[in-house]
Structure 1
Amino acid sequence: MTSDRTDHLLFPALEALGASNGAWLEEKWSAWLEKPESVAPELASLFSTLNAGPTPLLNPSQQLAHGDDGRDEALGVLREAWRQRGHLRATLDPLGLRERPDVPGLFPPSNAPAHHQAEAQRLEQLYAGTLAVEYMHLQDARERQWWQDRFEGQPRHTGSAPGLDPRRILALLTKAEIFEAFCQQRYTGARRFGLEGGESLVVALQTLVDEAGRDGVDSMSFGMSHRGRLNVMVNILHKPAEAIFSEFAGKAFGPDEIDTAGDVKYHLGCAATVRTPGADGKAASHEMRLALLPNPSHLEAVDPVVMGRVRADQDRTHDEARNKHLGVLVHGDGAFAGQGVVYETLQLSRLRGYGTGGTVHIVLNNQVSFTTDPTDQHSGVWNTDVARTVQAPVLHVNGAAPEAVARAASLAHEWRQAFGRDIVINLFCYRLHGHNETDEPAFTQPRMVEAINAYPGVRARFAEDLEKRGLIEPGQAEALRRADDQALEEAFAQADTYQPDGTDWLDASPLDPTRLQDSPERVQPMTGVPLARLREVGLGSTEVPAGFALHPRIERQFKARRQALEAPEGTVDWATAETLALGTIALDGHRVRLSGQDSGRGTFSQRHAVLTDQRDGHKVTPLDLLSRRQGKVEVWNSPLSEYGVMGFEYGYSLGNPEALVMWEAQFGDFANGAQVMIDQFVASGETKWLRTSSLTLLLPHGLEGAGPEHSSARPERFLALCADNNMRVCMPSTPANYFHLLRRQIARRCKKPAVIFTPKSLLRRPEARSLLAEMGPQTRFQPILPDPLFQGVGQQDARGKVRRLILCAGKVYYDLAARRAELGLNDVALVRLEQFYPFPHHALVAELVRFPKLETALWCQEEPRNGGAWRYVDRRYEHSLKNAGQQLRPRLVGRRASASPATGLASRHASEQAALIERALTRDFSIPLTPDEKAHH
């Protein structure tokens, strides 16, 4: 809030020298320009550093006079200084608490020619008024020139477009202010995170909507956190005020026929179709869809979700220029600087697989974050400095100058459409009530509160200014205020009888009959494919364009794949089954999108969906070349991000429900980095907001001695989130079941996220193969896989001899089966649980009744007893046993409880694994457990 912070950040040496006085600094600067050795070495070093860079301020020997060639070089240097650092002098704080710092090089010495002094004053008006710009960090000279033209060009862009009319701005400010005042009066003490002090946000957003409409944009997706959200819903997306007043009274936000847990009103989303002025700026002729995506208290979590949603809209409508669907993100000042997902989202902005042609970011800069002052919020000069890393220009604007705010928004849209790049508007404002309406902000910001209490408000100031300019008549502003207040009174009167309409808050129909009919025990859809088509896809996936230089090892893999597929009873491994699933889905006309770290090749060098020419490095995706009429297949190597990329893919799945959208972790436990997305969106988005998604998470899992970070995808965490039929959590053990799982994501009209624990060593284990016929016609996903030893009608006697049944999942089955064969055991059955949630109770009971003489029922897992599926499976397994007529209490065989999910010592892993396999197959559980076994159990 003072100049000290900015001075010290810009000029660290000044703090040690005690040099914060502007006049003193200017004197020393001028002396250094004349004679560098005349100032202290510390200052000389500082001035030399400031003068370095692509455009020096002045050479020490250079005089403020015309050069020998007749050009005024000093004047050019002066202009460059203002372009680089003029934003530091801008008048941005509505409260006047932020002093304008002294910045060396912006003003010529007092003995400079008069026209130099005049030019400095002109540049100060252009670059250091209520609207300032940072653009000199842009590496592209064309982009820098674009900004120079708009700030220095003649005539200046002052906002003459219809959407920037001052009277309309006043109307928007009035609506924004009166809404908050009305809510404060009617719902005193209720938290709403009001917009008081930041009303100009509505001006910025409406300007963006108007500008987008004039450019023929089809949709805009918005993401924002709490502050001002209700105001934006009412005044930008036109959600009925009576709907919000009804929610204040505690009523449901959705129709009665939709069962939902709901969420607080300032987390909800809403959508509307609006008509905006067309290209002529007159008739409201263009129709555009606006959607505000729901967002939890994890403030910036929605950022990549909006980007993914916009990208899906663009891909779905073949918007290759990426200018018909736009994203707008509204951030808090502290969150923009402090939340890592902001940086992850910015990094996605210019990547081939994730770019959306530019996002407009608006930072609602309260100049305080909760109770934290800017000096403790961020390093660097501005809270927006992180945007500079992706070559995004930054507009700083005073929220008390609404016409400047409108101009900033207009420039932001123009930049985005011209260059397809992100841009940031840093909107300086204040908070009237502190973080929320129950706070006492004077506890921590007394000076700011004192200034706020003395400030008349943005609307009042602007109305007074318009009246002085003769743009409105006396009393006209008050008439606007009374009219808006009366409209809200009428809405308040209707709130008691208001019946929610899904279109008020959801941008897709909530009345999907398949969703209402869905149940955990719903019959699995048939997902098999004719064998001829399977072979077509499999062989096509190994074909490359003529002249393509394929790596010899990949050529050998493809040759083995072709031989397996062409055999009379072809068998396929895991990677081939996945290829067949993706390819057949694409041939059915659905887009397929897979992204993750190293997904093109596959972490374990198993997939090779994207091939690289060994001569020139160009890439090809054979699955995208199967047919001219197929759906697009995209496999993207993501940046090293989990939080941002998973959020992006979740948003993509919302925007294109007909696509198979997959996010793959390099190792399963890397999903830890995206836990917020899993908790707040994937697992609970439907029950909170009725946003259905079919995002598929692929999480490599399996304890194989690779250490704690490359072993467990933490099944226990996902299972703890399972309820309300919210998602599918599976650990398939065969390629065929994996094939059907992926195809089920498209075949089922009721969309649910899927969490699939995929294998590592099983990718190449000879026993982990499936017959092609298991993916053929009349086949489907099997949530329970019976023991192959006891299948068939003639196995009834053998099943009657079984005394021990081991229920397990994933890789451990193969270890158990191999050791059982070595020991020659014929009284142990191994049953695989392929789907954890929804728990396949009926299918498991049907399998358990086949073994009438059981004496022991076990659950065997590789994971420690405090991890894995045991705590989830335990009582469900017992319930199924009872329903099958077995009065048995299931027992656990697994590793002892551990704070770490796995050991990093290969020898220890091997001995632990051998011990638990032996215990599961041979331990007599009628004998009391030893102390060591008790520790495991």
Structure 2
Amino acid sequence: MTLREILARLRRTYCRTIGVEYMHGEDPAIKRWLQERMEAAENTPTLSREQKLRILARLTEAETLETFLHRKYIGKKRFSLEGAESLIPLLDWLVEEFGRQGGEEIVMGMAHRGRLNVLVNALGKGFNELFAEFEDTEVETMMGRGDVKYHMGYSSDRKLADGRTMHLSLAFNPSHLEIVDPVVEGRVRAKQDRTLNWEGEPAPRDPERRKVLPVIIHGDAAFAGQGIVAEVLNLANLEGYATGGTVHVIVNNQVGFTTNPEDARSTPYATDIARVLRAPVFHVNGEDPEAVVWAVQLAVDYRQQFQQDVLIDLYSYRKYGHNEGDEPAFTQPRMYEVIRQKKPPRAVYAQRLAEEGVATGGEADELMRTRMARLETELERTRKEGAKRTVSAMAGLWSKYRGGPDSATPEVPTAVPEPRLRELLVKLSQVPQGFTPNDKVAKLLESRRKLAEGDGSEPFDWGVGEHLAFATLLDDGAPIRFSGQDARRGTFSHRHAVLADARDGKRYTPLAHLREGQGRFDIFDSPLSEAGVMGFDYGWSLDMPEALCCWEAQFGDFANGGQVVIDQFISSAEDKWNRLSGIVLLLPHGFEGQGPEHSSARLERFLQLCAEDNIQVCYPTTPAQIFHLFRRQVLRPWRKPLVVMTPKSLLRHRLAVSSLRDLARGSFQRIIVDPPAKQATRVLLCSGKVYYDLITARETKKRDDVAIVRFEQLYPLSDASLSEVVKPFKGAELIWVQEEPFNMGAWYHVRARWPEVVGKGRLIPVARAESASPATGSEKSHKYEQQLLVDQAFGNAAPRK
């Protein structure tokens, strides 16, 4: 070839309606693979007449739905896809191509723009269901619950062209842009984990991951602007979070609400943040749907071949403003002058097919008329018959589990016979032949072995209680996923779930080697991220209801880095979307003189979120309690998120101990009454670590007239149980004691839920003074404050506010 011919070929390949970034990659084999695929075809697909007509049909479906809704529901928000209708043939092609390459399931996530169109035309949501949401006839049943239609998820089984079936899901999501991304990845990982052959550590690129695909549809402004995107991209190749590659589609409207690209990012392309993964990017003109389907075919090929992320930057426009009632010409007058002159992508493509002799203008118009007539018929039927109910969320994997009120699901026995506990302790103390543990870890393993040989009364600490809870569940066959910063060792060096050989660093996980056929045990040190990892683990819990899924904060103070996940998913998903989760948040909490950033998991914020038995909030004080609590979370069919205030100094506190006998009897106790030696004149009600300060002070002060009551579960907490607590202490003073300041901790929660006692002045609070930050930075001041509130609790000093 001459130089002129080479240049012409390269221009045809890279300088028409597709532009590609891939030379920033480091692997020459990958770059060669991409180059050969693209240049051989000049980035142009060879399509049959049937395939071209299929593209036209998909564009017609996309356009007619938007046109119909615009006419029938004037002024109603729907966040139309108009201007980016090529997304529908893109998804159609993606599903078919993924199925052709052996894929079985796709989980999608996207924001509101074009979501209704995707629900109907990509996932197969019925017109009847969509129109019923617009008609909004179920006013009374939806009061205080539910969500807007462009947040709703859906799942369906789609028949592929070759006759096979593909399961499709679109995750429910809030308006907080991109926060659904980690949820999608977590759901996909759970589906993959369910089918993978598990031997030791999971492989990030196990071939089996090719069967389930995450697809995330982004907006250009959000992809560049939302920090959660970077957090999720960073998970892509990590052992505990890899999903075998994600197909990212950026629907690039070239504007974010009213913000121009030059004000929205510091980079030329919205996709530039993804260069950290060396991922290829296909920039494609959405007005050339054939280029769009070629780009998605390449993207799926790449993902399946290399199990890495890939991006499609779908350049398009937004026909209206941010919503259909917004006027975009206020801020983008020239852009919208051009947009108003444009023909819809369907019309442009129909004209192209007419010129090619593939389909006449009359045939294209007939497609439009037929589709509009069907929409009209379906709307009339909906108005006459109402909505058809879809499959319950409590089907399939979730058929054994339930939500609803706490009182409707009885407690379950969680005790484990001592012989079984001893047997498991022996296994937890063993390492493979030739494995050399760290000297201190070796002593810990030896202490476990000795505990197994004792008479059952020997005390043990929190780490043993945790391990035995996990071991008994795994022995029952339940899977466990545990993730968080420094989770394997534990922030405070109490867990040591994964051991490192002192000579060569090789890892060994005793909990993963209890017996053949045990439950799967995965524990991961997460990246230094809260929102991304918490969202991922929440997503994992949605598709693994039988498992114990734990996310642990390094300190509870840092959990608010994932506050959006807590607010928009964990605490409210059941109410909004009828979606349950059994995720466990473990949040180290307690005032120990470490300052305002290492003292508080913001217990008060979780309690403020409590309503309708939506979550559980617990503050256990003994190893036996955490043992029974973990087991209850799995064995009880009631699936609600569990928020646990976990200890720091109590991990090795001489009084915070239990014995095997405590695990072999009883169950989790929501409230523990520590009665006095004689008739009580004062009752101290508390929760958590402060209990140990109070019992120590009671002994020191010789106050055998003081009863101490621990609230191990702060929510759900029934009025009946509260009344039963004080019943035996008629006439005694009731004092609520907490380490936290008055405006924090559990005081306001207790006060609101116990009005008949508080209102009569019978319950007096003792706490630190109101404060804008949780704790003092001075260790001496901390000790002074702690002693003061203990003295106040026993009536030796005046309470202060």
Please say whether Structure 1 and Structure 2 have the same fold, judged by a TM-score greater than 0.5.
Answer: yes
1:698 shift after superposition: 0.2
**Residues 1:902 and 2:771 are matched in the alignment:** no
**Residues 1:265 and 2:170 are matched in the alignment:** no
Question: What is the letter of the counterpart of residue 123 of structure 1?
Answer: L
Question: Are residues 587 and 902 of structure 1, via their aligned partners in 2, closer, same or farther at CA, if it must alter by over 3 Å?
Answer: same
**Residues 1:225 and 2:111 are matched in the alignment:** yes
Identity value in percent = 47
Q: What corresponds to 1:560 in structure 2? A: 447
Q: Does structure 2 retain, via aligned residues, the 8 Å contact 1:878–1:888?
A: no
Question: Are residues 827 and 842 of structure 1, via their aligned partners in 2, closer, same or farther at CA, if it must alter by over 3 Å?
Answer: same
Q: What corresponds to 1:288 in structure 2? A: 166
**Residues 1:416 and 2:303 are matched in the alignment:** yes
Query: Within 2, Cα distance between the matches of 1:744 and 1:521?
Result: 15
Question: Are residues 377 and 462 of structure 1, via their aligned partners in 2, closer, same or farther at CA, if it must alter by over 3 Å?
Answer: same
Q: What corresponds to 2:465 in structure 1? A: 577
Match for residue 753 of structure 2 among 876, 879, 882: 876
Query: Within 2, Cα distance between the matches of 1:171 and 1:748?
Result: 49
Q: What corresponds to 1:247 in structure 2? A: 133
1:810 shift after superposition: 0.7
Q: 1:113-163 CA distances to partner (integer Å, 9 max, x unpaired)?
A: x9434422321111111011100111111110111111212x556434779
**Residues 1:315 and 2:202 are matched in the alignment:** no
Q: Does structure 2 retain, via aligned residues, the 8 Å contact 1:361–1:423?
A: yes
SS of the counterpart of 2:160?
strand
SS of the counterpart of 1:217?
coil
Query: Within 1, Cα distance between the matches of 2:673 and 2:567?
Result: 33
Q: What corresponds to 1:917 in structure 2? A: 790
Q: What corresponds to 1:661 in structure 2? A: 549
Question: Are residues 862 and 502 of structure 1, via their aligned partners in 2, closer, same or farther at CA, if it must alter by over 3 Å?
Answer: farther
Question: What is the letter of the counterpart of residue 462 of structure 1?
Answer: Y
Q: What corresponds to 1:97 in structure 2? A: none
Query: Within 2, Cα distance between the matches of 1:122 and 1:252?
Result: 60
Match for residue 526 of structure 1 among 413, 428, 434: 413
Match for residue 629 of structure 2 among 741, 751, 759: 741
Q: What corresponds to 2:315 in structure 1? A: 428
Q: Does structure 2 retain, via aligned residues, the 8 Å contact 1:857–1:888?
A: no
Q: What corresponds to 2:704 in structure 1? A: 826
Q: What corresponds to 2:54 in structure 1? A: 168
Instruction: Flag structure 2 segments of 5+ consecutive residues without an equivalent.
Output: 198-205
SS of the counterpart of 2:749?
helix
Query: Within 1, Cα distance between the matches of 2:222 and 2:296?
Result: 21
Q: 1:331-383 CA distances to partner (integer Å, 9 max, x unpaired)?
A: 00000000000011111010011000001000000000010001111112211
1:665 shift after superposition: 0.1
Query: Within 1, Cα distance between the matches of 2:329 and 2:216?
Result: 30
Q: What corresponds to 1:649 in structure 2? A: 537
Q: How many residues align?
A: 791
Written as runs of structure 1 = structure 2, the 5 A alignment for 1:530-545 is: 530-545=417-432
Match for residue 890 of structure 1 among 742, 758, 763: 763
Q: 1:219-255 CA distances to partner (integer Å, 9 max, x unpaired)?
A: 110100000000000001110112111111113599x
Question: Are residues 260 and 610 of structure 1, via their aligned partners in 2, closer, same or farther at CA, if it must alter by over 3 Å?
Answer: farther
Q: Does structure 1 retain, via aligned residues, the 8 Å contact 2:13–2:42?
A: no
SS of the counterpart of 1:825?
coil
Question: Are residues 164 and 597 of structure 1, via their aligned partners in 2, closer, same or farther at CA, if it must alter by over 3 Å?
Answer: farther
Q: What corresponds to 2:180 in structure 1? A: 302
Match for residue 858 of structure 1 among 728, 735, 738: 735
Q: What corresponds to 2:693 in structure 1? A: 815
SS of the counterpart of 1:913?
helix
Q: Does structure 1 retain, via aligned residues, the 8 Å contact 2:428–2:448?
A: no
Q: 1:441-479 CA distances to partner (integer Å, 9 max, x unpaired)?
A: 000001110001111111101000001001113400000
Question: Are residues 904 and 348 of structure 1, via their aligned partners in 2, closer, same or farther at CA, if it must alter by over 3 Å?
Answer: same
Query: Within 2, Cα distance between the matches of 1:246 and 1:875?
Result: 39
Q: What corresponds to 1:144 in structure 2? A: 31
SS of the counterpart of 2:442?
helix
SS of the counterpart of 1:548?
coil
1:655 shift after superposition: 1.0
Question: Are residues 881 and 871 of structure 1, via their aligned partners in 2, closer, same or farther at CA, if it must alter by over 3 Å?
Answer: closer
Query: Within 2, Cα distance between the matches of 1:361 and 1:785?
Result: 51
Q: What corresponds to 1:194 in structure 2? A: 80
Question: What is the letter of the counterpart of residue 125 of structure 2?
Answer: K
Question: Are residues 730 and 599 of structure 1, via their aligned partners in 2, closer, same or farther at CA, if it must alter by over 3 Å?
Answer: same
Written as runs of structure 1 = structure 2, the 5 A alignment for 1:5-404 is: 115-153=2-40, 155=41, 158-160=44-46, 165-252=51-138, 261-278=145-162, 285-318=163-196, 320-321=206-207, 322-404=209-291
Question: Are residues 834 and 807 of structure 1, via their aligned partners in 2, closer, same or farther at CA, if it must alter by over 3 Å?
Answer: same
Q: 1:861-888 CA distances to partner (integer Å, 9 max, x unpaired)?
A: 0001110010001143454689xxxx65
Question: What is the letter of the counterpart of residue 628 of structure 1?
Answer: E
Give the superposed CA RMSD.
2.1
Question: What is the letter of the counterpart of residue 564 of structure 1?
Answer: L
Question: Are residues 827 and 550 of structure 1, via their aligned partners in 2, closer, same or farther at CA, if it must alter by over 3 Å?
Answer: same
Question: Are residues 161 and 742 of structure 1, via their aligned partners in 2, closer, same or farther at CA, if it must alter by over 3 Å?
Answer: farther
Question: Are residues 754 and 498 of structure 1, via their aligned partners in 2, closer, same or farther at CA, if it must alter by over 3 Å?
Answer: farther
1:566 shift after superposition: 2.5
Query: Within 1, Cα distance between the matches of 2:395 and 2:16?
Result: 44
Larger radius of gyration: 1
TM-score by length of 1: 0.82
Question: Are residues 518 and 771 of structure 1, via their aligned partners in 2, closer, same or farther at CA, if it must alter by over 3 Å?
Answer: same
1:764 shift after superposition: 0.1
1:620 shift after superposition: 1.2
Q: Does structure 2 retain, via aligned residues, the 8 Å contact 1:660–1:746?
A: yes
SS of the counterpart of 1:288?
strand
Question: What is the letter of the counterpart of residue 451 of structure 2?
Answer: A
Question: Are residues 464 and 457 of structure 1, via their aligned partners in 2, closer, same or farther at CA, if it must alter by over 3 Å?
Answer: same
**Residues 1:759 and 2:650 are matched in the alignment:** no
Instruction: Flag structure 1 segments of 5+ consecutive residues without an equivalent.
Output: 1-113, 279-284
Query: Within 1, Cα distance between the matches of 2:702 and 2:336?
Result: 81
Q: Does structure 2 retain, via aligned residues, the 8 Å contact 1:466–1:472?
A: yes
Query: Within 2, Cα distance between the matches of 1:614 and 1:345?
Result: 33
**Residues 1:448 and 2:326 are matched in the alignment:** no
1:830 shift after superposition: 0.7
Q: What corresponds to 2:203 in structure 1? A: none
Query: Within 2, Cα distance between the matches of 1:290 and 1:641?
Result: 29
Q: What corresponds to 1:7 in structure 2? A: none
Moved more, 430-439 or 538-547: 538-547
TM-score by length of 2: 0.96
1:843 shift after superposition: 3.2
Q: 1:152-196 CA distances to partner (integer Å, 9 max, x unpaired)?
A: 12x556434779811100000000000000000001110000000
Query: Within 2, Cα distance between the matches of 1:263 and 1:879?
Result: 35
Query: Within 1, Cα distance between the matches of 2:795 and 2:275?
Result: 64
Question: Are residues 880 and 318 of structure 1, via their aligned partners in 2, closer, same or farther at CA, if it must alter by over 3 Å?
Answer: farther
Query: Within 2, Cα distance between the matches of 1:479 and 1:652?
Result: 45
Question: What is the letter of the counterpart of residue 862 of structure 1?
Answer: E
1:498 shift after superposition: 4.7
Q: 1:270-329 CA distances to partner (integer Å, 9 max, x unpaired)?
A: 111111123xxxxxx211211101110101010000000000001112274201111100
Query: Within 2, Cα distance between the matches of 1:252 and 1:538?
Result: 56
Query: Within 1, Cα distance between the matches of 2:251 and 2:785?
Result: 55
Q: Does structure 2 retain, via aligned residues, the 8 Å contact 1:596–1:637?
A: yes
Q: Does structure 1 retain, via aligned residues, the 8 Å contact 2:13–2:43?
A: no
